[in-house]
Structure 1
Amino acid sequence: MTETPNPALWSTLRANRPRSEGSLVTAPIVIDGSPTPLSVAMDSSGFLHLMIPVQSGPVGPKPADLNGLRLRHSILESGEVLDLSAPPSHERVFTPFCRDIIDAVVVHSREPWAAAAATVRAWQSAWKPMRQHMEKTAQVGLFGELLFLNSIMLPSIGTTSIDEWSGPNQERHDFSGEQIHVEVKTTRKGRSEHEISRLDQLRVPDGRRLLLASIQVEESITGEHSLATQIDSVVEFIRMDAAALDLFMSKLYDLGWAEEMRESGEMLKFNVRAADVYEVDSDFPRIPDDFEQPSGVVSIKYIIDLANIPKLDRDETILAIREAHLG
């Protein structure tokens, strides 16, 4: 019976993944309580690896790569290996795929390259494209949420922020705590104007405070920031909390993020023009709570202009969020 790999092992490797490019953190494959020469690993980008010792490269053509799955003949300090790797977004497919290869090589003593080729053929339908490109508007919105998570939420309440990041769950607000909610609006416009897409988006929940973060970005091929830079900053902050790290990555994948975006050319780069926070109170520009949507009107969208609206500075915002959780 193959005991590894499993989600708990990937989680442990993810929490300890190396910072330097080209490095790996590894763990042995265990079957019936006994270690084997095979191992699983994770690299600095979070890619999952299964490494099988071999004497040489494949006899004949190498088994073909599939979408998200790569097979390589690598030479490590410990010797030659067949290295199968996949991005973290494919963990649910890669894990049972690895178990089939491990059973073939260890339990049934099959030649590794032949076992890999046969298993790839059997699993090829499962490796069809699993996602579509992330649209620009989705990248802009996610970037703003991650920027707020990095600059305000994590310094305020630490890894609890990951639980309260509710944007991926399609909730009314992007961060939802017991006493304070935050809505993050990000625009590529050169002014602090934002579209409000639902009537209740700026309604303050009963017994809570509501803040609005207004983020202005400029898309540029020379931009200093991207989804990748923000994700890496979050991961660095929470890497010692395996549960928070797993939850964070799960939410990212639900939103369409995949590690291969780093090299695909679809990922946008940004410069941040402004990042301001406002208290949504009685003087804030919004449709009144007692407004009744006319019969037959399916949805209402409107644009708010935040020019000349009082702002909270960063320290005030962090203090407000921290005190809300202490209270």
Structure 2
Amino acid sequence: MTREITEDSWRDLEDSLPAYGLYNAKKLEGSEKIFLAVNHNGFRNVLLQINSIDSAIFDNHSRGLIVQGKDLVIKRIESTFIVITCSDKEGHKTFNLVATDILNKVISGLKPADAVTQTLEKWRKFWGSSFRKILTEDQIKGLFGELWFLFVWLLPKNHKFVENWVGPSGSRNDFEWKNLATEVKTTSSVRGHIHRINGIEQLDPPQDGKLYCFSLRVRKEKTAQNTLPVLIKRIQNLLASNQHLLDLFDEKIAISGYSPAHEDEYSEYQYRVIDERLYIVDDEFPRLSVSSFQDGVPYGVERIDYDVNLEVCRECLIARNPYEFNSVLDITSGLS
């Protein structure tokens, strides 16, 4: 049975702050050696009792998060603890998740130092992003589309395709291979597959290669089951047997600006998938390029964004589902 640390876990400790150098502390139910504590600055702490200071660890590599060994008097008894301190209130939501993870690792039998080390390695990817505001609705929708393509169309064929997801790093296209790239576009337009293209080069095929456009049409509905947190957990479960790929995926999710600290807010964006299509971007595909202008892009024009309606290019449509995708493309050679 797992235990969870929430905002309610801290309320009685934060009702009034202790004097300088002291802690308000309480033992966690079900554990004799784990305490939650708040110091005179109002900083939240998790205290893990250990046998000696030699068993402690020190870590200050994350802004607003410090791990150190201390001798403290708790409930009139002096003991040695690993103290995990959150000194930034903007990080409270993530700290609850970190503390919960540490707590359950220790309860399951892991040594306190190992529990802290393993948890920090996992959550450090998300720690900085937890202080940002949540993604905008357009960003949420765009990330959902990229993850849908990854989970539904690519990973069932080869889990290593998570390595080819390069959208979070700022690459021109969302997925890239040696001679092939895929741009993912997500829309909730009631008119159909209509998308905003960001820049005149976004739909340029790679040199000596092919470009595909994956178009996902969704509708925001309260009864829909698809959300960013649900999709992310499905992918994490799929990659659970390969720690390298799982870590790589978590790192890319963090770079994208997503943080589990805002999971409740992201869960409010529930999408029903209406239609999904894969197009080949060729001469028949509606797009602009530098060659679209007889004399080149006009001098002084630095950026061109425009909308495309993919309902008019049925001849470019090559797949409506991953099964057609596999039969149309030689995936083993083209996507490796």
Bucket of the pairwise TM-score, normalised by the shorter protein: 0.5 to 0.7
The partner residue of 2:13 within 36, 45, 62 is: 62
Please provide the CA RMSD for this pair: 3.5
Shift of 1:75: 2.3
Q: Distance in 2 between matches of 1:268 and 1:324?
A: 34
- Structure 1 residues 227, 265: closer, same or farther in 2, change over 3 A? closer
Q: Distance in 1 between matches of 2:178 and 2:62?
A: 36
Task: Tell me the SS of whatever aligns to 1:214.
Answer: strand
Partner of 2:116: none
Q: Distance in 2 between matches of 1:124 and 1:324?
A: 47
State whether residues 229 and 267 of structure 2, in contact with CA within 8 Å, keep that contact through their aligned partners in structure 1.
no
- Structure 1 residues 168, 119: closer, same or farther in 2, change over 3 A? closer
Deviation track 1:102-146 (CA, whole Å, cap 9, x = no partner) reads x11xxxx32368998x9748x347848711121111100000000
Q: Which residue type is aligned with residue 309 of structure 1? A: R
State whether residues 133 and 266 of structure 1, in contact with CA within 8 Å, keep that contact through their aligned partners in structure 2.
no
Determine whether 1:23 maps to 2:16: no
- 1:171-320 aligned within 5 A: 171-190=171-190, 191-264=192-265, 267-288=268-289, 290-291=291-292, 292-307=296-311, 308-310=313-315, 311-313=317-319, 314-318=322-326, 320=329
Q: Distance in 2 between matches of 1:96 and 1:126?
A: 11
Q: Which residue type is aligned with residue 179 of structure 2? A: Q
Report the identity percentage: 22
State whether residues 26 and 35 of structure 2, in contact with CA within 8 Å, keep that contact through their aligned partners in structure 1.
yes
- 1:48-59 aligned within 5 A: none
Task: Tell me the SS of whatever aligns to 1:286.
Answer: coil
**5+ residue gaps, structure 2:** 16-24, 37-44, 47-59, 93-129
Q: Which residue type is aligned with residue 153 of structure 1? A: L
Q: Distance in 2 between matches of 1:96 and 1:282?
A: 53
The partner residue of 2:29 within 67, 72, 75 is: 75
Count of residue correspondences: 253
State whether residues 93 and 126 of structure 1, in contact with CA within 8 Å, keep that contact through their aligned partners in structure 2.
no
Q: Distance in 1 between matches of 2:187 and 2:89?
A: 39
Deviation track 1:2-55 (CA, whole Å, cap 9, x = no partner) reads xxxxxxxxxxxxxxxxxxxx537xxxxxxxxxxxxxxxxxx8xxx9xxxxxxxx
Shift of 1:323: 2.7
Q: Distance in 1 between matches of 2:282 and 2:196?
A: 18
Task: Tell me the SS of whatever aligns to 1:225.
Answer: coil
Length-normalised TM-score, structure 2: 0.65
Partner of 1:322: 332
Determine whether 1:93 maps to 2:41: no
- 1:140-155 aligned within 5 A: 140-155=141-156
Q: Distance in 2 between matches of 1:124 and 1:260?
A: 14
- Structure 1 residues 202, 265: closer, same or farther in 2, change over 3 A? closer
Q: Which residue type is aligned with residue 194 of structure 2? A: E
**5+ residue gaps, structure 1:** 1-21, 25-42, 48-56, 65-70, 86-90
State whether residues 179 and 207 of structure 2, in contact with CA within 8 Å, keep that contact through their aligned partners in structure 1.
no
Q: Distance in 2 between matches of 1:112 and 1:210?
A: 63
State whether residues 210 and 280 of structure 1, in contact with CA within 8 Å, keep that contact through their aligned partners in structure 2.
yes
Q: Distance in 1 between matches of 2:74 and 2:135?
A: 36
State whether residues 155 and 318 of structure 1, in contact with CA within 8 Å, keep that contact through their aligned partners in structure 2.
no
Q: Which has the higher contact order (CA 8 A, sep 6+)?
A: 1
Task: Tell me the SS of whatever aligns to 1:245.
Answer: helix
- Structure 1 residues 137, 92: closer, same or farther in 2, change over 3 A? farther
Task: Tell me the SS of whatever aligns to 2:260.
Answer: coil
Q: Which residue type is aligned with residue 74 of structure 1? A: L
Deviation track 1:72-125 (CA, whole Å, cap 9, x = no partner) reads 74323x64632667xxxxx9639962x31xx11xxxx32368998x9748x347
Task: Tell me the SS of whatever aligns to 1:236.
Answer: helix
